[in-house]
Amino acid sequence: MKNKRIAIIGAGPSGLAQIRAFESAKKQGKEIPEIVCFEKQDNWGGMWNYTWRTGVGKFGEPIHGSMYKYLWSNGPKECLEFSDYSFDEHFKKPISSYPPRPVLFDYIQGRINKSNARDYIRFNTTLRWLTFNEETEKFTLFLDDLKNNKTYEEKFDYVVVATGHFSTPNMPFFEGIDEFPGAVMHAHDFRGADQFIDKDLLLIGSSYSAEDIGVQCYKHGSKSVTLSYRSNPIGLSWPKGIEERPLVTHFEGSKAFFKDGTSKEFDAVVMCTGYQHKFPFLPSYLRLKTENNLYPDHLYKGIFFQTQPKLIYLGMQDQYYTFNMFDAQAWLSRDYMMGDFKLPSKEEQRKDIDQWLEKYSKVDDPKEDVDFQADYIKDLIQMTDYPDFNVEKVGEMFKQWLQDKEDNILTYRDKTFRSVLTGTMAEEHHTEWMDEMDDSLERYLMKEDKAEKKTAVLS
């Protein structure tokens, strides 16, 4: 075991889950393999590690981050709680159900700060390419030490790809957009509503990014927000100032024309048109090629690459469940790498994948999506020793969340939920979400009386 070497690519929630899984085995007295995690940024946290930068970073690497200022959790925190590290353990007091990004970033770090996880990670290091040698059964990784501008190679027995899939924009073309006089960007480059105050904003897309960026811009004072859908509208009862229209057909100057024959002038366009699964460091025969969905094909148990299971992908599914799903995946992948979980024959793997795909083909609304992902997680957990949690109950919370959004998209983040781990009921945040313009950790954790004073000063 000691001689085995494991490479983890990316130190976001998925990569950190993999480190945590090995640490948990170590705590139980097991001998663990040598682990090296490569992270191209200078800190961990993946998406949750906010950057103001867009385009390329200081070393010329494509910017990974797609998160923006004033981003609050888009689902109840009780649905993503690590089952081996509760919010109570971290914050020592109840907090609200929809914390802002810096608070969740703090929580993610809390679990690993206590360990020596940093020692496993080589920051500012990008994986450029890898090859697999069938005879030696080893991967050779070609790495780029960005700080020292130095490339080098290292050999590993297993590679865990935890590089996320909400980073490389899917950027469609619409006739006339190349002449549009205002700002045109992808959601990946959106860094907050500030520049869109008093502007007429067009968002193309009808999923999470369109919904959340649209509502944030409305909250922070955009003049109007128009969401343009390709397949289906989001279909909520929007407040005055947000509307949905069918897909843009073309642009003429700053005017957009829509499929229903209407048109409107805009100051800016944000493409909320999703992301590509992109693995430029993998040869095509090892690349996962998939759309953003709940069960990408060719991954046994959603993680083991079927033609080469020593290559493991974490977190590649579209996500209702997030951190706890990455954990369950990472625990099972650890068991496999440590020899405690054996893969069945290729045929049986294929049969299992096909069964999941068949089940998935029958899913056709968000509530069924939740049930499907819950079943997937239960399947993972019964194969490993990730601390069990009430997956069903979390599923019910997701369904309530869907209902809350339908009832009122502006107030759903004021709702509270009960932790399935600790039984703790979340507290109401001291300020209603629509009135809360400050997303800092300091303000969030402020006592109610102090927070009231600050609101009074602001108003």
- The contact set with ligand FAD (CB under 6 A) reads 9-15, 38-41, 46-48, 64, 66-67, 73-75, 80, 126-127, 162-164, 166-167, 281, 315, 319, 322
Q: 322 contacts which partner out of ligand FAD, ligand NA7, none, CB within 5 to 8 A by kind?
A: ligand FAD
- Which of 127, 119, 115, 124 shows the shortest CA–CA distance to 162? 127
Residues that bind ligand NA7 (rule: CB under 6 A) add up to a total of 20
Q: 9 contacts which partner out of ligand NA7, ligand FAD, none, CB within 5 to 8 A by kind?
A: ligand FAD
Say whether residue 192 binds ligand NA7 (CB under 6 A): no
Q: Which of 74, 254, 306, 422 binds ligand NA7 (CB under 6 A)?
A: 74
Q: Which of 10, 33, 46, 274 binds ligand NA7 (CB under 6 A)?
A: 274
- List the interface residues with ligand NA7, window 227-246 (CB under 6 A): 230-231
Q: 201 contacts which partner out of ligand FAD, ligand NA7, none, CB within 5 to 8 A by kind?
A: none
Residue 272 CB, shortest distance to ligand FAD, in Å, is: 10
Q: Which of 142, 208, 257, 360 binds ligand NA7 (CB under 6 A)?
A: 208
Residue with smaller CB distance to ligand NA7, 49 or 273: 273
Say whether residue 254 binds ligand NA7 (CB under 6 A): no
H or E stretch at 372:
helix 366-381
Sequence-distant (≥ 6) Cβ neighbours of residue 321 within 8 angstroms: 79, 80, 373, 374, 377, 394
Render the burial of 171-209: b for 16+ CB within 10 Å, e for the rest.
eeebebbeebeeebbbbbbbbbbeebeebbbbbbbbbbb
Report whether 420 contacts 390 (CB < 8 A).
yes
Residue with smaller CB distance to ligand FAD, 167 or 226: 167
Residue with smaller CB distance to ligand FAD, 8 or 256: 8
Residue with smaller CB distance to ligand FAD, 33 or 315: 315
Q: What is the four-CA torsion angle of 366, 369, 370, 376, rounded to 10 degrees? A: -170
Residue 41 CB, shortest distance to ligand FAD, in Å, is: 4
Say whether residue 360 binds ligand NA7 (CB under 6 A): no
Q: How many CA atoms lie within 13 A of 117 on its CB side?
A: 26
Residue 145 CB, shortest distance to ligand FAD, in Å, is: 11
Residue 450 CB, shortest distance to ligand FAD, in Å, is: 26
Both tokens assigned to 367: 């509530």
Q: What proportions of the chain, in percent to the nearest 5, are helix, strand and coil? A: 35, 20, 45
Q: How many CA atoms lie within 13 A of 1 on its CB side?
A: 14
Residue 319 CB, shortest distance to ligand NA7, in Å, is: 5
Between CA 225 and CA 204 the distance in angstroms is 11
Q: Which of 112, 272, 311, 426 binds ligand NA7 (CB under 6 A)?
A: 272
CA terminus-to-terminus distance, the chain: 61
- Which of 104, 141, 110 shows the shortest CA–CA distance to 126? 141
Residue with smaller CB distance to ligand NA7, 190 or 444: 190
Q: Which of 7, 187, 225, 242 binds ligand NA7 (CB under 6 A)?
A: 187
Say whether residue 204 binds ligand NA7 (CB under 6 A): yes
Residue 216's φ and ψ, nearest 5 degrees, are: -60, -45
- List the interface residues with ligand NA7, window 304-333 (CB under 6 A): 319
Tell me the Ramachandran region of residue 55: left when phi exceeds 0, alpha when psi lies from -120 to 50, beta otherwise: left
Residue with smaller CB distance to ligand FAD, 251 or 444: 444
- Write down the residue that tokens 């049969």 correspond to: 351
Q: 206 contacts which partner out of ligand NA7, ligand FAD, none, CB within 5 to 8 A by kind?
A: ligand NA7
- List the interface residues with ligand NA7, window 379-408 (CB under 6 A): none
Say whether residue 172 binds ligand NA7 (CB under 6 A): yes
The secondary structure of 107-159, three-state, reads HHHHHHHCCCHHHHEECCEEEEEEEEECCCCEEEEEEEECCCCEEEEEEECEE
Q: Which of 206, 226, 290, 317 binds ligand NA7 (CB under 6 A)?
A: 206
Between CA 121 and CA 109 the distance in angstroms is 14
Both tokens assigned to 385: 């020793």
Sequence-distant (≥ 6) Cβ neighbours of residue 76 within 8 angstroms: 97, 98, 397, 398, 401, 415, 417, 426
Interacting residues with ligand NA7 (CB under 6 A):
74, 166, 170, 172, 187, 204-210, 230-231, 247, 272-274, 292, 319
